[in-house]
């Protein structure tokens, strides 16, 4: 029989899922069975090879290693056969591969596996087919269970959508979800993202950055109007859950989003009017450039203006740059300046900033300056400092703010020609604001309506 003096190897496959609990297919019990089998045949076991099957990945690294080490062994002992592969063709392939490198193959549960022996091969094939059927039945049973749960009016798993937690509306994120719905009815996704990020609201994945895709997915998810949908294998069921917004609001917001999407870039949409949201700063004080509401003239003409937020009382009215600029005028100046920039290599180099502070840390530093300013104002009200001292602090804070925004030009890591080509393409295909974003441009709007650009260096 086994005249060899060479030892045997054990090859085991474990799936993460079946490992949980006292499972007779678990790693330890498999190994134990194989060792007992080896002892019965008088084989000594030299090494145990284990492949882990996790979800979809099934790379069989250790199986390949076993094939490479084959010369050191006389035989290999497998756990029960369906551990080889729950898939008929794969089972055959693996068994063939083991025999091809000269290994005798044994299964702790079924004994010798030998494709050269007709009876044995037939038994192997039957067991492989049975294992395959078993796998299908388990899948079907799991799916049937889910469907039954939904029919009984219960979600398959706790709802995981943003605004939900542990199967119920989350007191922390549900109000944010409602806020997003409110905003998205009248504002473009980019503006809403800008506000969320400026307020430091983490994305559903817990990151500081939001994407348009995330927002649009949220808006389109019917779970927020109270409809939990479950669809698979040709069946579709909907069960009612607690709505976070009314169905009417949900429909309104989705209609608005779709309408905006259709009209993107056309005259009359918000995005067209308000291009510089989030990409422009005051050249004097570094505050955000914002826009007035629409002023409707009798002629039907609509007027809207850009201005520095630093001039607002609520911001401490610390900026002297009080000019209001018609947004069309500013856009025209920017368009011209971009045309010039696309042809002027030196201007591009001068506009490039070192990739120093990320906008986020910069925002944090700016917010701290604002908070400090509030404290000084409080100190004045409390009579702790004089107005002159307050003015001194204001100048110091303004200077610090200017330094934060004025990042020193280091060796710019920018391929100027490629950047210019990309800019031309972005201008041809995107509305102005999006083109500026895509090119990494910040617009500085200075006194008299002068426009300068800062370009984010790559890196």
Residue 348 contacts by C-beta under 8 Å, 6 or more apart in sequence?
341, 414, 416, 419, 420, 455
- Under the binding rule (CB under 5 A), the answer on residue 308 touching Zn ion is yes
- Under the binding rule (CB under 5 A), the answer on residue 282 touching Zn ion is yes
- Under the binding rule (CB under 5 A), the answer on residue 401 touching Zn ion is no
Q: Which residue, 8 or 280, is less far from Zn ion as judged by CB?
A: 280
CB of 449 to Zn ion, least distance (A): 13
86, 260, 272, 284: residue in contact with Zn ion (rule CB under 5 A): 284
CA torsion sign, 193 to 198 to 201 to 206? positive
Residues 227-266: x where in contact with Zn ion by CB under 5 A, - otherwise, as a string = ----------------------------------------
62, 173, 287, 434: residue in contact with Zn ion (rule CB under 5 A): 287
Q: Which residue, 74 or 291, is less far from Zn ion as judged by CB?
A: 291
CB of 285 to Zn ion, least distance (A): 3
Phi-psi region of 58 (alpha: psi -120 to 50; beta: other; left: phi over 0): beta
* Residue 433 phi, psi (nearest 5): -60, -45
Q: Which residue, 284 or 437, is less far from Zn ion as judged by CB?
A: 284
Cα–Cα distance for residue pair 357/364, rounded to 1 Å: 11
Stretch that binds Zn ion, among 116-124, 311-319, 323-331, 391-399 (CB under 5 A): 311-319
| Count of positions on this chain that bind Zn ion (CB under 5 A) | 8
CB of 282 to Zn ion, least distance (A): 3
CB of 397 to Zn ion, least distance (A): 13
Cα–Cα distance for residue pair 82/87, rounded to 1 Å: 8
79, 188, 310, 457: residue in contact with Zn ion (rule CB under 5 A): 310
CA neighbor of 219 nearest in space, from 170, 193, 185, 270: 185
- Under the binding rule (CB under 5 A), the answer on residue 285 touching Zn ion is yes
CB of 169 to Zn ion, least distance (A): 41
CB of 362 to Zn ion, least distance (A): 16
393, two tokens: 């602090």
Q: Which residue, 187 or 442, is less far from Zn ion as judged by CB?
A: 442
Q: Which residue, 285 or 348, is less far from Zn ion as judged by CB?
A: 285
Site residues (CB under 5 A) for Zn ion? Answer: 282, 284-285, 287, 308, 310, 319, 321
């Amino acid at each position: 029989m086994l005249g060899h003096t060479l030892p045997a190897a054990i090859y085991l496959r474990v799936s993460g899922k079946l490992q949980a609990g006292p499972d007779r297919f678990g790693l330890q019990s498999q190994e134990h069975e194989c060792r007992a089998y080896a002892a019965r045949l008088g084989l000594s076991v030299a090494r145990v090879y284990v492949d882990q099957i996790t979800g979809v990945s099934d790379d069989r690294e250790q199986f390949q290693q076993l094939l490479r080490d084959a010369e050191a062994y006389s035989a290999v002992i497998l756990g029960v056969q369906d551990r080889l592969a729950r898939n008929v063709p794969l089972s055959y392939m693996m068994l063939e591969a083991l025999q091809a490198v000269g290994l005798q193959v044994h299964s702790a549960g079924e004994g010798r596996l030998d494709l050269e022996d007709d009876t044995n091969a037939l038994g192997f094939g039957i067991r492989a087919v049975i294992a395959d059927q078993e796998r299908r039945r388990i899948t079907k049973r799991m799916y049937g269970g889910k469907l039954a749960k939904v029919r009984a009016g219960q979600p398959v798993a706790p709802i995981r959508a943003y605004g939900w937690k542990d199967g119920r509306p989350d007191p922390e994120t549900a109000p944010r979800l409602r806020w997003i719905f409110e905003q998205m009815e009248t504002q473009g996704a980019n503006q809403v993202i800008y506000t969320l990020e400026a307020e430091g609201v983490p994305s559903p994945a817990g990151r500081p950055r939001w994407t348009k895709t995330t927002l649009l997915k949220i808006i389109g998810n019917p779970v927020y109007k109270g409809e939990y949908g479950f669809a698979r294998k040709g069946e579709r069921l909907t069960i009612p859950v607690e709505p976070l917004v009314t169905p009417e609001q949900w429909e309104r917001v989705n209609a608005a989003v779709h309408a905006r999407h259709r009209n993107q870039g056309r005259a009359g949409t918000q995005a067209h009017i308000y291009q510089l949201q989030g990409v422009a700063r005051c050249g004097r004080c570094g505050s955000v450039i914002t826009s007035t509401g629409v002023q409707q003239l009798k002629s039907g003409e609509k007027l809207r203006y850009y201005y520095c937020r630093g001039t607002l009382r609520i911001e401490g009215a610390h900026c002297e740059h009080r000019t209001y600029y018609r947004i069309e005028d500013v856009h025209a100046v920017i368009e011209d300046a971009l045309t010039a920039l696309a042809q002027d290599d030196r201007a591009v180099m001068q506009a490039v900033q070192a990739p120093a502070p990320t906008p986020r840390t910069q925002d944090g530093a700016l917010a701290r300056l604002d908070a400090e300013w509030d404290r000084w104002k409080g100190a004045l009200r409390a009579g702790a400092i004089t107005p002159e001292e307050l003015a001194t602090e204001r100048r110091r804070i303004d200077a610090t703010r200017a330094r934060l925004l004025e990042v020193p030009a280091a060796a710019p890591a920018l391929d100027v020609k490629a950047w210019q080509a990309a800019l031309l393409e972005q201008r041809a295909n995107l509305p102005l604001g999006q083109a500026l974003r895509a090119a990494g441009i910040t617009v500085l709007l200075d006194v008299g309506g002068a426009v300068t650009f800062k370009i984010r260096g790559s890196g």
